[in-house]
Structure 1
Amino acid sequence: MSHSLSAPFPLRKRPIVLVGLMGVGKSTVGKRLAARLHLPFVDADHEIEQAAGLTISEIFERFGEAEFRDGERRVIARLIDGRAKVIATGGGAFMQEETRALILERATAIWLDADLDVLAERVGRRDGRPLLKDRDPRIVLGELAAVRNPVYALAPIHVRSQPLPHEAAVESILKALAP
């Protein structure tokens, strides 16, 4: 686990942004982390759906991934407003150069990571993930990990999510954030 926290202003005033592949638990861990830190929690995908009046799947179907990513960037820029909160992003958000630069400059990015078998089991529990439509989740996740993990590694904090209760990941994050 790496913890280089060179924040231009105190951590407690910076948003904490969780990045990582789908199924790693960004939303679940984010809610629990926010509660432990007594901060608001925001799910960027939920905010995108609210702003568009459509589900993520519907946005992908109607407008394509490029249009979705543009809306995602705008929503994340609005969420990273200098106020402390915990933000869960979609798996592809940190892959977009502009979005990533914004997160790295104005927030504390935490890469939640997990083994592919853990991720595949977790994403198999629910539908509605456009990148998995009609495909084997383990294969898709492997392909995504190969491309995305080197970019996620740019986040200053890296926490492994184990096949344990999400509270274990929360504890690891709290340890990494401690001065």
Structure 2
Amino acid sequence: MSLPKRVVLVGPMGAGKSTIGRMLARELGYRFMDSDRIIEERCGADIPWIFDVEGEEGFRHRETAILSELSGQSQTVLATGGGAVMREENHAHLKRDALVVYLKTSVEQQVERTRKDRNRPLLQSDDPEAVLRRLFALRDPLYTRLADIVMFTDRKSPRLVVRQLVNRMDPKSPRQVRKVGKEGSKHA
């Protein structure tokens, strides 16, 4: 199996898309891109500010434009924002010439990983766990439908997830030990 033209990481906040994406890109010799960071760089403002000034709809419009632009890039690993799947028009941008990987994690892990992060506007609430549960219920079916591979990240180091993912992409790779289990297939 040859490596995909590009890899797109989808999943909820706190799943490890940016951390795993950087490591995966290094392993594959690809360039790493993070759609949220690109939006911040182009706006000259952080995501909470964009949400405050333009609202979520304004942010989502910017996100769609970036995803459209980046869909033509090759030899890249793209980490997307958790809500990128909410717009139907983004689905084609995410899938175009790409292997889509859903980094799936439990709400409990999301709570643990995001509890001190103030750069997530949707979690600035009295009950962030309830917000995460609601978002998971809405988005999980979309992540699953778009994914070519589902990788579970709960209680796994980013290095292990990358190793397992590379093994799934290129099972003949001599540097990887093949592991089959929960993450053995999308339908496992």
* TM-score (normalised: structure 2): 0.85
Residue segments in structure 2 that go unaligned for 5+ positions in a row: 172-188
Corresponding residue number in structure 1 for 2:99:
108
Distance 2:91 2:125 in 1: 29
Deviation at 1:84, TM superposition (A): 1.1
CA offsets, 1:15-64, max 9 Å, x none? 21100000000000000111111111011100001111111111111011
Specify the SS of the correspondent of 2:135: helix
Whether the aligned pair in 2 keeps the contact of 1:162 and 1:169 (CA below 8 Å) is: no
Query: Pairwise mapping of residues 31-42 of structure 1 onto structure 2 (< 5 A)?
Result: 31-42=22-33
Corresponding residue number in structure 2 for 1:30:
21
Corresponding residue number in structure 2 for 1:142:
133
Choose from 97, 107, 127 the match for 2:118. Answer: 127
CA offsets, 1:112-142, max 9 Å, x none? 0011111110001321101001232221111
Number of matched pairs: 170
Corresponding residue number in structure 2 for 1:97:
88
Deviation at 1:162, TM superposition (A): 2.1
Choose from 56, 68, 79 the match for 1:65. Answer: 56
Whether the aligned pair in 1 keeps the contact of 2:6 and 2:98 (CA below 8 Å) is: yes
Specify the SS of the correspondent of 2:155: coil
Distance 1:137 1:168 in 2: 28
* TM-score (normalised: structure 1): 0.89
Whether the aligned pair in 2 keeps the contact of 1:132 and 1:140 (CA below 8 Å) is: yes
Query: Does 1:54 pair with 2:41?
Result: no
Deviation at 1:96, TM superposition (A): 1.2
Letter in 2 for 1:81: G
Bigger-Rg structure (1/2): 2
Deviation at 1:106, TM superposition (A): 2.9
Corresponding residue number in structure 1 for 2:76:
85
Choose from 168, 171, 175 the match for 2:163. Answer: 171
Distance 1:39 1:135 in 2: 40
Corresponding residue number in structure 2 for 1:43:
34
Deviation at 1:81, TM superposition (A): 1.6
117-126 vs 131-140, greater mean Cα deviation: 131-140
CA offsets, 1:93-114, max 9 Å, x none? 1221111122113321110001
CA offsets, 1:136-173, max 9 Å, x none? 22211111111100000011111000212111111221
Specify the SS of the correspondent of 2:13: coil
Distance 2:106 2:160 in 1: 15
